Amino acid sequence: MAGRLRLGTRGSALALRQTTWVADALRARWPALDIEVIPIRTSGDRLVEVSLAQFGGKGLFVKEIEEALLEGRIDVAVHSAKDLPMELAPGLVLVATSTREDPRDVLIAREGYGLRTLPTGARVGTSSLRRQAQLLHVRPDLRITPLRGNLDTRLRKLEQEGLDALVVAAAGVRRLGLEARITEWLGPELCLPAAGQGALGLEGRAGDERVRDLVAPLDHPPSATAVAAERAFVRRLGAGCHVSLAAFAEVGETIGLQGVVLSPDGKTVLRDALRGPRDTPEALGVALAERLLAQGAERVLAESAPTAAR
């Protein structure tokens, strides 16, 4: 298929690496296609001194990219699926979900420590209330330090700001070829990942069948199903990705979905799991959210809502 396709993305090294992967995959499928990558600076990239929790985080890394898509300046937006707001802008749809990278979080420590072997009172950097709450649940003695910036910036700050460790998504570390820096992989039993973590979400304009046909080969149905279940769970709880909750789905013959809601200090934890058919991921996500709501999830989420709303 010939023609031109403009891919919009954030300008970070990781975002550009991810979008290059998308471009290369599309060129392999459509050799005659002229593909242009267009970096776009988002509010989240500009407001590096403001914590995601304080700013609210909703759409912080996608707003300007979605505007470019709606205005016709780009044809496809390439996002980390975990950054997508639970409700897309009117007129936009998710046209493909990539094969998911490893969805786990990882610990990167200066002295090679693991989570349980970090010194008492160790300083651990993260921008995520979800990670903060789960880390404090396991190690209430840790001193959590807000840490913003792209992955390469965070790695520099690990040394420059005297941190003992930081926690980031494994997917970004692997995509940048920095896996050797990982000192511990944090399994879901320790740190449940954010909804969509590890997958790329390709966003297009509703009704643009040309774009949908072009990117269709990049869609990975099992990953799309898992992400749909996780996003439905978060959406039903009325929360964005920058509060202390998490969801993780594994897809085989059925879907196994885990969800957790925590107080920011990690002292209150509501966790549950459900299994359901592959063809109704959203219904499974809603059902699991309802179970946690019945256990008091709304009250627990309200503890972090004032922080996130400022």
Which CATH number goes with the domain that contains 116?
Answer: 3.40.190.10
Q: Does the structure show a pLDDT above 50 at 205?
A: yes
pLDDT in tens, 67-87: 999 999 999 999 999 999 899
Do 87 and 129 sit in the same domain of this protein?
Answer: no
What is the structure's pLDDT at 307? 46
110 in Cβ contact with 185 (< 8 Å): no
What is the structure's pLDDT at 1? 65
Q: Any idea which of 56-65, 105-114, 207-216, 235-244 has the lowest mean pLDDT?
A: 56-65
Do 21 and 164 sit in the same domain of this protein?
Answer: no
* Inside any domain, residue 298: yes
What is the structure's pLDDT at 64? 93
Sequence letter at residue 187? G
Tell me the whole-structure pTM to 2 decimals. Answer: 0.90
Taking residues 188-197, what's their average pLDDT? Answer: 96
- 24 belongs to the catalytic site: no
Do 168 and 210 sit in the same domain of this protein?
Answer: no
Active-site choice (45, 83, 105, 164)? 83
* Inside any domain, residue 192: no
Mean pLDDT of the chain: 91
What is the structure's pLDDT at 43? 65
* Inside any domain, residue 155: yes
Q: 154 or 229, which is more confident?
A: 229
What is the structure's pLDDT at 174? 95
Do 89 and 57 sit in the same domain of this protein?
Answer: yes
* Inside any domain, residue 191: no
Q: Does the structure show a pLDDT above 80 at 130?
A: yes
* Inside any domain, residue 234: yes
Do 95 and 202 sit in the same domain of this protein?
Answer: yes
pLDDT category of residue 310 using cuts at 50, 70 and 90: very low
Q: What percent of the chain has pLDDT over 90?
A: 80
Q: 177 or 48, which is more confident?
A: 177
* Inside any domain, residue 203: yes
Q: Please give the tally of structural domains in the chain.
A: 3
Taking residues 282-295, what's their average pLDDT? Answer: 98
Do 231 and 88 sit in the same domain of this protein?
Answer: no
Taking residues 259-285, what's their average pLDDT? Answer: 97
Determine the structural domain holding residue 209 and report its residue range: 1-99+198-219
3-state secondary structure the chain: CCEEEEEEECCCHHHHHHHHHHHHHHHHHCCCEEEEEEECCCHHHHCCCCCHHHHCCCCCCCHHHHHHHHCCCCCEEEEEHHHCCCCCCCCEEEEEECCCCCCCEEEEECCCCCCCCCCCCCEEEECCHHHHHHHHHHCCCCEEEECCCCHHHHHHHHHHCCCCEEEEEHHHHHHCCCHHHCCEEECCCCCCCCCCCCCEEEEEECCCHHHHHHHHHHCCHHHHHHHHHHHHHHHHCCCCCCCCEEEEEEECCEEEEEEEEECCCCCCEEEEEEEEECCCHHHHHHHHHHHHHHCCHHHHHHCCHHHHHC
Do 235 and 278 sit in the same domain of this protein?
Answer: yes
Q: Any idea which of 32-46, 92-106, 259-273 has the lowest mean pLDDT?
A: 32-46
